[in-house]
Amino acid sequence: MTDFIPTPTTAPPDIVRSAYVELVVSDLAASRRFYVDVLGLVVTEEDDEAIYLRTFEEFIHHNLVLRQGPVPAAAVFAYRVRSPEELDHAVAFYTELGCRVERRAEGFGKGVRDAVRVEDPLGFPVEYFYDVDHVERLAWHYELHNPGALVRIDHFNLVTPDVPRGTRHLEDLGFRVTEDIEDEEGTIYAAWMRRKPTVHDTALTGGDGPRMHHIAFATHEKHNILAICDKLGALRISDMIERGPGRHGVSNAFYLYLRDPDGHRIEIYTQDYWTGDPDNPLVTWDVHDNQRRDWWGNPVVPSWYTDASPVLDLDGKPQTLVGRTETSEMAVTIGADGFSYTREGDTERGFKLGEQL
């Protein structure tokens, strides 16, 4: 993946935040049970083909669209922009990059009107929109909140083969890098980038791509995340927990990774930090630091490295994958050829007591 993505001469659209994702699901009823009955997302609107869901503190129409379809995949990653005029910038920016661009004044689904969708240079389906229906912000409606209340959408995490290439492109789009994972030879394994002043709106994870690694929703407190785990146990679907709960090194947030009925990965996330100052210091993690992904050194399960969801092109067809050519984070940290350490310089034993069978 050495082809260079040029920096357009036209200004990028002014992105406010990551706003919603549309997921294609194979069984809409099963997905509804997971996202509505188990996780407690709020239904703004639904029909036989799609369900529009939002978090408790959201005032726009939706943060997640579930759409019945033949192949589970991520259909679009949507950013809210600062004004209607930014859609013109989006069209110009991606047109200059030679990307496929589609604009619909009536929107591509419910709730959102004028919107631009593109196949971005990394192969991801991306939407930009401003014009959206307002709905009631349920922040004060505590009578509706569940113990694991999801209050915001936080970020997208995308898999791409060449992280620096992707990072430069997102910087062209106006993103700033807040944290990354590197090795001593300069290989970059992942990078976190933000528009809103938190650790990220979008992260890039090195791997065969384009694929969706996960999307994340935020809770207010850590006990809310633990309550989700407790409920999954009570429903005897604890095997939907893939990894965590735990404390991230990167981002310093408390986290949990779930897999939905189609295997789409959902993170529940809380309490990262302010990054909105223009000189916010970049935090670089050594890929061999065993606390980078889990501050407590708890193991990252292999599936977390290997599995991800296909993404669709604007015709709804899965994008072809391009393989990562650089070393993978899993290979350099787990198993026979990998190593990691708890204390730098202390390379004898990177894993915890008795972690391996």
Q: Report 281-310 residues binding a second copy (CB under 8 A).
A: 281, 290-291, 295-298, 301-304, 306-307
Nearer to a second copy, 5 or 203 (CB): 203
With CB under 8 A as the rule, give the number of residues binding a second copy.
84
Helix-strand-coil percent breakdown of the chain, rounded to 5? Answer: 15, 35, 50
Do residues 256 and 303 lie in contact, with contact meaning Cβ atoms separated by under 8 Å? no
- Name the residue nearer to a second copy (CB basis): 63 or 160: 63
The reply to whether 357 sits near a second copy by the rule CB under 8 A is: yes
Map the footprint of a second copy across residues 330-349, applying CB under 8 A.
334-335, 342-343, 349
| From 17, 100, 113, 168, residue interacting with a second copy (rule: CB under 8 A) | 17
Residues between 215 and 234 that touch a second copy (CB under 8 A): 220-223, 226-227, 229-234
CB nearer to a second copy: pick between 6 and 233 = 233
Question: 175 to 204, contacts with a second copy by CB under 8 A?
Answer: 196-197
Question: Residue 90's closest CA among 123, 35, 129, 49?
Answer: 129
**119, two tokens:** 């196949």
- Residue 249 engages a second copy in binding (rule: CB under 8 A): yes
Alpha carbon separation from 38 to 220, 260, 311 (Å, rounded): 18, 11, 25
The answer to whether 276 and 283 have CB atoms below 8 angstroms apart is no
Near a second copy in 32-61, by CB under 8 A: 57, 59-60
Residues 124-163 that bind a second copy (CB under 8 A): 130, 134, 137, 139-147, 149, 151-152
* Closer Cβ to a second copy, 230 or 313, answer by number: 230
What token pair was written down for 34? 């997971």
260, amino acid identity: D
- Closest contact distance (angstroms) between CB of 47 and a second copy is 26
Q: CB of 240 within 8 A of CB of 231?
A: no
- Determine the distance from the C-alpha atom of residue 330 to the mean position of all C-alpha atoms in its chain, rounded to a whole number: 19
Cα 26 from Cα 262, distance rounded (Å): 7
The answer to the question of residue 79 lying near a second copy (CB under 8 A) is: no
Q: Is 278 in the site for a second copy (CB under 8 A)?
A: yes
Query: Does residue 329 sit in helix, strand or coil?
Result: helix
